[in-house]
Structure 1
Amino acid sequence: MAFQILALFAALATVSNAALTRRVTCPDGNTATNAACCVLFPIVENIQTHLFDGGECGDEAHGALRLTFHDAIGFSNTNPSLGTGADGSIFIFQDIELGFHANIGIDDPINNETPFINALNGSISVADFIQLAGAVSLTNCPGAARPTFMFGRKDAVAPAPDLTVPEPFDSVDSILARMGDAGFSPAEVVALLASHTVAGADNIDPNLVGLPFDSTPSTFDTQFFIETQLRGTMFPGTGGNQGEVEAPIPGELRLQSDSELARDSRTACFWQANVANLAHMTQTFSSAFAKMQVLGQDVSQMVDCSEVIPIPKPFTGQAMFPAGITQNDVEQACASTPFPTIPTTPGPVTSVAAIPQS
Structure 2
Amino acid sequence: MNDLSKRIAQEDHPDDGDSPPVLIGDLKEGITTPVGQIIANILLKTESAQSQVTGYLPPLLGTDKCKKDTCCVWWYISAAMTLAFKGPSGRCNKNARQAIRLGFHDAGTWSQKLADSGQDYGGADGSIVLSGTEIHRAENNGLQDIIGKVKVWQKTFKVGMADLIQFAAIHAVVSCPLGPRTRVFVGRQDSSRAAPDGLLPDVNAKADDLIKLFEEKTISPHDLAALVGAHTTSQQFFVNKNRAGDPQDGTPGVWDTLFYNQTIGTGPLPKKVFRLPSDIVLAKDPRVKLEWDQFAGPNGQNHWNEDYAQAYTRLSLLGVNNINGMTECTKVLPGAQPSFKGALELLIDQ
Q: TM-score, normalised by structure 2?
A: 0.74
CA contact (8 A) 2:187 2:326 kept: yes
Q: Distance in 1 between matches of 2:58 and 2:285?
A: 51
Distance 1:155 1:256, change over 3 A: same
Is 1:62 paired with 2:97? Answer: yes
Query: How much does 1:270 deviate?
Result: 1.4
**Shift in Å, 1:111:** 2.7
Unaligned regions of 5+ residues in structure 2, if any?
A: 1-55
Equivalent pair of 2:110/2:122 in contact (CA under 8 Å): yes
Call closer, same or farther: CA 1:231–1:203 in 2, change over 3 Å.
Answer: same
The count of residues paired between Structure 1 and Structure 2 equals: 285
Aligned match of 2:335: 311
Structure 1 equivalent of residue 69 of structure 2: 35
| 1:86-126 deviation digits (Å, cap 9, x = unpaired) | 010100113x2122222222223223333222323xx2100
Cα distance, 1:52–1:159 mapped onto 2, change above 3 Å: farther
Q: Distance in 1 between matches of 2:199 and 2:271?
A: 32
The equivalent position to 1:125 in structure 2, one of 160, 164, 172, is 160
Aligned to 1:183: 218
Paired residue for 1:138?
173
What is the deviation of 1:356?
Answer: 5.5
Q: 1:268 aligns with which of 289, 293, 303?
A: 289
Task: Write the letter of the residue equivalent to 2:121.
Answer: G
Q: Does 1:85 align with 2:123?
A: yes
Q: CA deviation at 1:319?
A: 10
Q: Deviation of residue 210 (structure 1)?
A: 1.4
Give how far 1:305 is off: 0.8
**Shift in alpha-carbon separation, 1:231–1:156, aligned structure 2, 3 A:** same
CA distance in 1, matches of 2:58, 2:128: 34
Task: Report which of the two structures shows the higher radius of gyration computed on alpha carbons.
Answer: 1
Distance 1:41 1:319, change over 3 A: closer
- Which residue, out of 182, 188, 193, partners 1:147? 182
Cα–Cα, structure 1 residues 40 and 259, in superposed 2: closer, same or farther, change >3 Å?
A: same
Aligned-partner Cα distance in 2 for 1:319–1:141: 11
User: What secondary structure sits across from 2:306 in the alignment?
Assistant: helix
- CA distance in structure 2 between the aligned counterparts of 1:152 and 1:117, rounded to whole angstroms: 14
Corresponding residue SS for 1:267: helix
Tell me which of 76, 100, 122 is aligned to 2:111.
Answer: 76
User: Higher helix fraction: Structure 1 or Structure 2?
Assistant: 2
Structure with bigger RCO (C-alpha 8 Å, 6+ apart)? 2
CA RMSD of aligned residues (A): 2.8
Hey, what's the Cα distance between the residues in 1 that align with 2:141 and 2:340? 35
Assess, with a 3 A threshold, how the Cα gap between structure 1 residues 112 and 25 changes in structure 2: closer, same or farther: closer
Question: Structure 1: any 5+ residue segments left out of the alignment?
Answer: 1-22, 233-246, 321-349
The one-letter code sitting in structure 1 at the alignment partner of 2:309 is: S
Is 2:109–2:123's contact at 8 Å kept on the other side of the alignment? yes
